């Protein structure tokens, strides 16, 4: 893993949250994207070299909807960039981490992603992501 790629924040209302983060960072979001397979709509902000991903559920059965129901709004995951997603997944599995869903899948912001189960990471959902152009 090279660096923190972004921090994901679960929100109930993407438009209201876009306004809040626009005021906080002093810049507009640079992208809104729906990931239908995950039942989520995302919005991305840049603050210096850092990125924040806001996540709003579009499906009541999605992981984000369940997270919001259980925990409310707040930090959902920390994403780390990797240059070789499969290699990193294999390495981490060898260290005993559980990979969700067990294979790379297409995520938002032109990324391939996989997650580490939070039970093995002190309760933090960790996302591994690789630019699709790097794969």
Structure tokens at 88: 């990193």
Label residue 68 by pLDDT band (50, 70, 90). Answer: very high
**Phi, psi at 14, each rounded to 5°:** -65, -40
Residues 79-127: tens digit of each pLDDT: 999 999 999 999 999 999 999 988 999 999 999 999 999 999 999 999 9
Label residue 2 by pLDDT band (50, 70, 90). Answer: confident
Three-state SS for 27-38 is: CCCCEEEEEHHH
Neighbours of 116 (CB within 10 A): 21
Label residue 134 by pLDDT band (50, 70, 90). Answer: low
Q: Above 60 in pLDDT, residue 135?
A: no
Global pTM? 0.91
Helix (H) or strand (E) holding 91: helix 85-94
């Amino acid at each position: 893993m090279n660096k923190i790629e972004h921090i994901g924040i679960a929100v109930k209302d993407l438009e209201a949250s876009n306004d809040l983060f626009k005021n906080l960072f002093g810049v507009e979001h640079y992208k809104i994207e729906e990931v239908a397979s995950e039942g989520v709509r995302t919005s991305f902000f840049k603050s210096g070299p850092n990125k924040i991903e806001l996540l709003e559920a579009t499906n009541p059965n999605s992981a984000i909807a369940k997270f919001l129901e259980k925990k409310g709004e707040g930090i959902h995951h920390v994403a780390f960039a990797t240059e070789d997603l499969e290699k990193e997944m294999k390495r981490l599995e060898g260290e005993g981490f559980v990979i969700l869903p067990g294979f790379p899948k297409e995520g938002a912001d032109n990324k391939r992603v996989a997650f580490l189960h939070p039970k093995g990471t002190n309760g933090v959902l960790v996302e591994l992501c690789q630019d699709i152009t790097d794969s």
